[in-house]
Amino acid sequence: MDEKKKSLIQFLSSLALLMIAYIPMFRWMIDRWVLPESYYGHGMLIPLVSGYVLWQRKDALKEAKISSEFFGLIIVAGCLITHLLCALLKIYFVSGFSFVLAIFGLVLFFLGKDMAKKVIFPVFFLFAMIPLPLVLISNLTVKLKLIAAQIATLILNNIGFPAVRDGSIIAMPNSYIAVEAPCSGLRSLISLLTLGVVFAFAAKVSYLKKGVLLAASVPIAMATNVLRIIMLATVNDLYGEKIAMGFFHDFSGFFVFAFAFAGLYIVVKALEPKGIVNE
């Protein structure tokens, strides 16, 4: 057996043991993924995207120089200690981050710097599958829904639909609409930021422009969410709650996300006229 195969087998075996050690974190993470109205329903897709990127780079990975960096073992040890403490305290968010860092540590220790450089994106992209703490989610949700309601009210008044905001409730002549947590825009913001990371990675542009592309995800997500609130408010006022909060409610969610995706793609085309390509 050559040295490269031996190192790869050692890495995969250690990765399997690492995953067993992190089972409590995986249980927590999967529970958060499948919750009703989850903000991380896309979480289960993240490992698949990372796996696809690795497969795309298979030829480059085969040519990587194999070595061993002892610092990688130090990273793994630190992450396991962190995970143990987090498991005892049930702080699984931090435990999830330590898992991703531990994977990178294993790569460094068993496969070396050259391999670590080639897998930086697919490994660290796994951070996108880790749900944010519920306290942070709650705080962001409150702030975002108030901002969205305020902007939507301003636009409604300027397009001929008299509206008054009271907190996150928008009152109109014939109806009112409450901007609840699912309509805060946080879910679309998280999803679009994740897409922005993928687009930024794939775009053949400078790192500065990659940063611009990623930053553009935030206003695009917020703008499309406000658009959805305006659509729901006007349909509710004109045709009633039954229509607005029925099929149209779900349809508008898909529609504005497609609109957001298109907006992000337009930014990519503006920064890189030839579109996006795989590195």
pLDDT of 108 reads 96
Which of the listed ranges 42-46, 93-97, 177-181 does the model predict with the highest average pLDDT? 93-97
Residues 197 and 85 occupy one common structural domain? no
On the question of pLDDT at 272 being above 80, the answer is no
Cα–Cα distance, 130 to 78 (Å, whole number): 19
**C-alpha angle 149-152-155 in degrees, rounded to nearest 5:** 150
Residue 265 lies in a domain: yes
276 is a domain residue: no
**104, 164: one domain:** no
Same domain, 54 and 180: no
Residue 102, Cβ neighbours under 10 Å: how many?
25
Please return the burial class of 184, using the count of CB atoms within 10 Å of its CB with bins 0-12, 13-18 and 19+.
Answer: buried
Q: Is the pLDDT score of 275 beyond 70?
A: no
Shared domain for 119 and 18, answered yes or no, is yes
pLDDT > 90 fraction of the chain, expressed in percent and rounded: 43
Residues 179 and 112 in one domain: no
Angle value at C-alpha 81, between 94 and 47, nearest 5 degrees: 50
Number of independent structural domains in the chain: 2
Last residue of a domain, one of 131, 147, 164: 131
The reply to whether 117 and 144 lie within a common domain is: no
Residues 127 and 145 reside in one and the same domain: no
Last residue of a domain, one of 90, 109, 131: 131
For the purposes of burial, counting CB atoms within 10 Å of the CB of 117, is it exposed (0-12), middle (13-18) or buried (19 or more)?
exposed
The tens digit of pLDDT for each residue in 203-232 reads 888 888 889 988 999 999 899 889 989 988
User: Has residue 279 got a pLDDT over 80?
Assistant: no
Confidence class of residue 112 from pLDDT cuts 50, 70 and 90?
very high
Determine what percent of the chain falls in helix, strand and coil, rounding each to the nearest 5.
75, 5, 20
Percentage of residues in the chain having pLDDT higher than 70: 97
114-169 per-position pLDDT tens digit? 999 999 999 999 999 999 888 888 888 889 889 999 999 999 999 888 999 988 88
125 and 143 housed in the same domain: no
Q: pLDDT grade, residue 1 (50/70/90)?
A: low
User: Model's pTM, two decimal places?
Assistant: 0.83
Same domain, 124 and 245: no
Q: What domain range is 57 assigned to?
A: 3-131
Within this chain, do residues 176 and 73 fall inside the same structural domain, yes or no? no
Same domain, 249 and 140: yes
- The CA distance from 43 to 216, in Å, is 22
Mean of the pLDDT values across residues 56-73? 91
Residue 68 lies in a domain: yes
Quickly state the pLDDT bin for 259 (edges 50, 70, 90): confident
Binned at pLDDT 50, 70 and 90, residue 3 comes out as: confident
Q: If you average pLDDT over residues 163-185, what whole number do you get? A: 84
State which of 131, 149, 166 marks the end of a domain. Answer: 131
Amino acid at residue number 41: G
Q: Is 71 or 245 the better-scoring residue by pLDDT?
A: 71
pLDDT at residue 277, rounded to an integer: 42
